Amino acid sequence: MRRRLLGRLLPCGLVLLLLLGAGIFLAVKLPAALAPLAAGERLLSLCAGVYVLSAAPAESKPYRLLLLLVPWLGAAACFFLGREKDAPARPFAPFPDGRMNAAASLAAGCGLQAGCLKSAEYFSSGKEMSVRLFADLGAAKKEILLDYYILARGRFFDTVLQILEQKAAEGVRVVLVGDGFGCAGLSRRFFRRLQARGIEAAVFRPLRPFAPAGLNLRDHRKLALIDRSVAYTGGVNLADEYTGDKIRFGHWKDTAVRLFGEACAQFAVLFGEKAPQDAPPRGTLPFVPFADGTGGRRVGEELLRSLISAAERTLDVCTPYFVPGDRLLAALCLAARSGVRVRLMLPHIPDKKGVFLLSRHYARKLAAAGGEVREYRDGFLHAKSIAADGEYLYIGSYNLDRRSLFTQAECGALLGDSGVTSAAARDFSALWQTGVPLPRERPREKLLRALLLPFAPWI
């Protein structure tokens, strides 16, 4: 009986031992054996996801990539980062010109009222602008409001500071705003010293190690408002490279404009001040001020698209960074395909290589649609302007990239005058002659661009 029982149990025990051994073996060895297969499956899924993302709208690519790479963390980040919301613009038509009225309606949507200036002056370099700015600051009687992305000690900024301290001592109200990132080289003690001398100095979003959420929300404006009748805007910051006193990347090419007239007072809104509303325009130069903050309704991208879409003959575009959203790129390509001569001028010497690669990528798309692209070879091109049909000129702090158009605080002006636009056209033509053709994309650039492209809206 025992022998018979043992004879039955022994095979069962051996089978159990074999199963247990096989289970232990599989538990230990199988994951390691399948690791290459799992890695290959993950890599294949990632490549397929990136391929699908390449056809997705630019604005949503980073969000989708986060969801693909890190689903749980990516989902939380998408809710945290949020999305832009569009709102209808209020109709506002102060001009007989339909194109200017379209821009005026958009500007009214962000609280700025269009009007007419007495005059405007175009500067083809920061050096030219600085001389005129010194004179206007020195002649100020009541108020000086300055908002600049970069404040850096040197000949340019130090001269401005001397004038500001003198005017503050005379009883002129002086406000100076700098961005926390752009003026990171200036200490808190420096701003406290300015405050002690009667200057209302402030830093927009100071850099803090434990507050990364707002790192990309910068004040990128370049704006001076003097006695609410003179305003300066464009690409020029208060630092020596903008005037040529400090050499970076060769000759620093920039542009700016001086606006004169009561309509300039609209820019006071950007400093938290009240500006006159519904005042009769005094002057003959049509003027639309516009600006975006770091939240709420944004109008800059829509206004530039409106200007581009209405062009009938020519579009001359200067920008240091060309990473537009899908809608802006589509508007430029459509203009080129429609017979408008679209000329895009970019830097040939990069200051940010990642953005430089992406700028060339999007510029090649515009060239494929019939646009003309050249690169400024004598130094770094920092000018930010769009001239349409020789009659309309945008100039301001906006770059043609997503950070400027959808994230940062920016400002600019749209002018409808043949005089100032003619000066800008002559400057662009001279600049175009110095340009070199857009080169072919090399294999290494293709690889780097492919890696950067999904994150283009955040670069």
Judge whether 219 and 177 are in contact, CB under 8 Å: yes
Catalytic position from the list 245, 351, 378, 389: 389
Ramachandran quadrant class, 324 (left: phi over 0; alpha: psi -120 to 50; beta: rest): beta
> Which amino acid, residue 291?
A
Catalytic position from the list 222, 253, 348, 361: 222
CB atoms within 10 A of CB 446: 12
Phi first, then psi: give them for residue 21, nearest 5 degrees.
-65, -45
- 353 a catalytic residue: no
* Strand partners of residue 457: none
- 384 a catalytic residue: yes
- 382 a catalytic residue: yes
Judge whether 457 and 325 are in contact, CB under 8 Å: yes
CA 140 to CA 173: how far, in whole Å? Answer: 10
Q: How many helices (H) and strands (E) does the chain have?
A: 13, 20
Judge whether 168 and 174 are in contact, CB under 8 Å: yes
CB atoms within 10 A of CB 75: 13
- 351 a catalytic residue: no
- 251 a catalytic residue: no
Judge whether 304 and 394 are in contact, CB under 8 Å: yes
- pLDDT tens for the chain, residues 1 to 459: 555 655 565 666 676 777 776 767 666 666 666 666 666 656 665 665 555 555 555 555 565 666 556 665 555 555 555 554 544 445 556 788 888 998 998 888 888 999 999 999 999 999 999 999 999 999 999 999 999 999 999 999 999 999 999 999 999 999 999 999 999 889 999 999 999 999 999 999 887 765 555 677 899 999 999 999 999 999 999 999 999 999 888 899 999 999 999 999 999 999 998 877 655 557 889 999 999 987 667 899 999 999 999 999 999 999 999 999 889 999 999 999 999 999 999 999 988 888 999 999 999 999 999 999 999 999 999 999 999 999 999 999 999 998 899 889 999 999 998 789 999 999 999 999 999 999 998 888 888 888 888 777 666
Token pair 């400057």: residue: 427
Residue 406 DSSP one-character state: I
- 253 a catalytic residue: no
The CATH number, out of the four listed (2.40.110.10, 3.30.870.10, 3.40.50.2300, 1.10.30.50), of the domain defined by the range 98-270+278-458: 3.30.870.10
Catalytic position from the list 97, 118, 127, 227: 227
Judge whether 309 and 331 are in contact, CB under 8 Å: yes
